[in-house]
Structure 1
Amino acid sequence: MTAAAADGIGAVEVSAVPDETGPARKLHWPFAIAPIRVVAPILVFLLVMGLWTIASHFLIPQESRFLLPPPEAVVSKGLLDATARTEILSALWSTVQIALVGLVIAIAVGVAFAVLMSQARWAEYSLYPYAVILQTIPVLAVVPLFGFWFGYEFSSRVIVCVMVSLFPVITNTLFGLKSVQPAEHDLFSLHGANRWQQLLKLQLPAALPAMISGFKISAGMAVIGSIVADFFFRQGDPGIGRMIDVYRQRLATEQLLTALLLSSLVGLVLFWIFDFLAGRVDRAHGKRAGA
């Protein structure tokens, strides 16, 4: 902090001294969480459970209640029943494995393609249209083809996950890499940095927030891709997709809802993980900017 002398002769540099009497420095998540971030989701959850209970008990006739069983029935028959719980958790683990492998491959391939396109304009013009086309292809239309070409087990399901979750990684990473200002490139060039050094020390660090945003989107899409692939591929270890179809045929709505909710929870956990990483990256960028 700079303070001017009273007689106007000059200025004196005064070191900023932390105020010991001021408010304590705020801790960041997960060390401290604002109450609203905990209370608000809980209130919404209780509201949804209340509306669900009212609809099941009072709005739906007794003979049709199997279409929307109350929450306590879902918990008792889907989670507390040992046979159903083991069956659903085993299928969920198979779905999670495929989703994670597909997500990792999509991140690696998507980042590699985005880096290539950011380094050469001809590569962007050549490859990016096909990335857009990949996003617009109906997944349900190509799933049988993957089964014909690659079989109906693990590898085909992973390919579906990669196909579904690849585009957000490419788009967000490319956007982050191209967001670096020309003046920053000029500064690095002035100090003798070559293109590889600029990529590693300038573009990739600057692109991290956008990249993680793409990862968050792709995480949920990878879970969806794994469920869709398992729904159509009837070989190998059964996943949530196949169990959903089995419960649909049995009219076992309690187990079906349990499978849906648990698979949604997997996508939510992956989103939280990348959201936590995004917060760490943002704070690191803030510290560097302050320095």
Structure 2
Amino acid sequence: MTVQAVGSATKDPGSGPDTLALTNPPPLRPGRAHAKSGGGRNRERLTAVVAPLCSAVVAIGVWYLISYVFLEPDRQWLVPPPHDVLNQGLLEWEQLEPKLDALMLTARVALTGLLIAVAIGVSVAVLMSRARWLERSLYPYAVILQTVPILAIVPLIGMWFGFSLPSRTVVCVIIALFPMIANTLFGIQSVNREHHDLFTLQRATRWNRLIKLELPAALPSIFTGLRTSAGLSVIGAVVGDMFFRQGEPGIGTLLDVYRQRLQSEDVFASIILASLFGVVVFFVFSAINRLAVGSWHGSGTDR
């Protein structure tokens, strides 16, 4: 039998008569592969920039369409066009300054509530992971805390903690707590059984197993819960501003005031600022996730 192979081939003396061993394979071309890989990464980066810009252009176009086509001129104040929102709500310093001051207060409340929710959520999840009976005892209450409408317990929060900043922080903690508990517990319970066996062979203590195995392995899940809780904490801070008006006004307080005064441009401007703050918080924690997790998990690498 005749076999045509690229490169020089010799017959392997230990093989059968029809087997050929390839001794001089064709050289690889890593340069071309590397160039292709680099080009693919450049296209991905370009797409990551162009796609959001295109969606933003489409959203602004729909916004103009609603303002000028679907609404009558006497009802255009309900959805003012983007340039009016920009000029009257964001570019005039007299209008922008109180919004930024209120946003700073809302940000402080949201971050304080988030830190408390992270500390409580991770601690409770670790406790539940230690024993099944603890999980069965505590997890139903975490679910109930998540499902109870926050507006239904606002009067109780006000009576217990007052109607100022502490109540706003409590609202943030309640809203942001469950994702931290659920994701941390899932991450701890998802550790590979073979890794547990290795620690058992090394006679590791429960503390060493938790610190050196379970929590590091659960980091991707913990940061997933952290990103979710961060967004929910911003929502909780805005909701708390609307209902607890004592003390300095937050962005939610200004939203309610502008709504009562029918200042639509300022309402939309405040919503935009609050949304941008939520986006910034999300991307900050995504960057921290990439630094903490690194490249060993898919959540820590750029896609």
Same topology, TM > 0.5: yes
Are residue 270 (structure 1) and residue 287 (structure 2) matched?
no
Cα deviation, residue 18, structure 1: 11
Aligned to 2:5: none
1:74 and 1:33 map into 2 onto residues whose CA distance is 33
Q: Higher relative contact order by CA 8 Å / sep ≥ 6: 1 or 2?
A: 1
Aligned residues: 275
The letter of the residue matching 2:234 is V
Q: Note closer, same or farther for the CA distance 1:177–1:232 as it changes in structure 2 (3 Å cut).
A: same
TM-score (norm 2): 0.84
What percentage of residue pairs aligned between the two structures are identical? 46
1:104 aligned to which of 74, 91, 115: 115
Q: Note closer, same or farther for the CA distance 1:286–1:26 as it changes in structure 2 (3 Å cut).
A: farther
Q: Note closer, same or farther for the CA distance 1:184–1:262 as it changes in structure 2 (3 Å cut).
A: same
2:276 and 2:231 map into 1 onto residues whose CA distance is 10
Are residue 201 (structure 1) and residue 212 (structure 2) matched?
yes
Q: Note closer, same or farther for the CA distance 1:251–1:6 as it changes in structure 2 (3 Å cut).
A: farther
Aligned to 2:157: 146
The letter of the residue matching 2:46 is P
Aligned to 2:24: none
Aligned to 1:79: 90
SS of 1:235's partner is coil
Deviations 1:191-243, CA, capped at 9 Å, x for gaps? 12111111111111110001100011111100010011110111011001110
Root-mean-square deviation (CA, aligned residues, Å) is: 2.4
Aligned to 1:130: 141
TM-score (norm 1): 0.88
Aligned to 1:36: 47
Deviations 1:160-179, CA, capped at 9 Å, x for gaps? 10000000000000000000
Aligned to 2:183: 172
Cα deviation, residue 280, structure 1: 3.8
Aligned to 1:13: none
1:163 aligned to which of 147, 160, 174: 174
> Residues 243-262 of structure 1: matches in 2 within 5 Å?
243-262=254-273
Deviates more, 1:52-61 or 1:38-47: 52-61
1:56 aligned to which of 45, 54, 67: 67
2:46 and 2:127 map into 1 onto residues whose CA distance is 44
Cα deviation, residue 100, structure 1: 0.4
Contact 2:220 2:297 in 1 (8 A): no
Aligned to 2:241: 230
What residue ranges of structure 2 are gaps of 5+ in the alignment? Answer: 1-10, 16-27, 299-303
